[in-house]
Amino acid sequence: MAIERIHSTDRMSRIVKHNGTVYLCGQTAGQAEWDIAEQTRQCLSKIENLLTEAGSNTASILSVTIYIRDMKDFAAMNAVWDAWVADLPKPARACVEARMARPEILVEMTVTAAEA
């Protein structure tokens, strides 16, 4: 089974495809002036674009892991998330509080999806 790696660097690949499954690296939108809602919107937009590039789509998302810097932002993040998935098949999801690589990052999401 071939493994396809897209947008690879010395450290990682943004997209990995294997056996009909698409794996996205963690997506962030760490602009210091953006609140959790805007960072969540930006992450979801990046996810949509990468899935399209990988030959998948939002309806084919299997699972999402959401890392949030502070659980005080959980409700605001969920408001954006809930609107985004309103008309989609609901993926499996986990959300954990985590220390981020940079202080301006409030949310990060990793996605696994089926090829469309």
Q: Is the pTM of this model over 0.85?
A: yes
pLDDT at 84: 98
What parts of the chain have a pLDDT lower than 70?
none
pLDDT at 32: 83
pLDDT at 31: 86
For residue 44, give Cα distances in angstroms to 48, 66, 107: 6, 11, 11
pLDDT at 94: 98
List phi, psi (to 5°) of 97. -80, 135
Write out the two tokens for 79: 């408001």
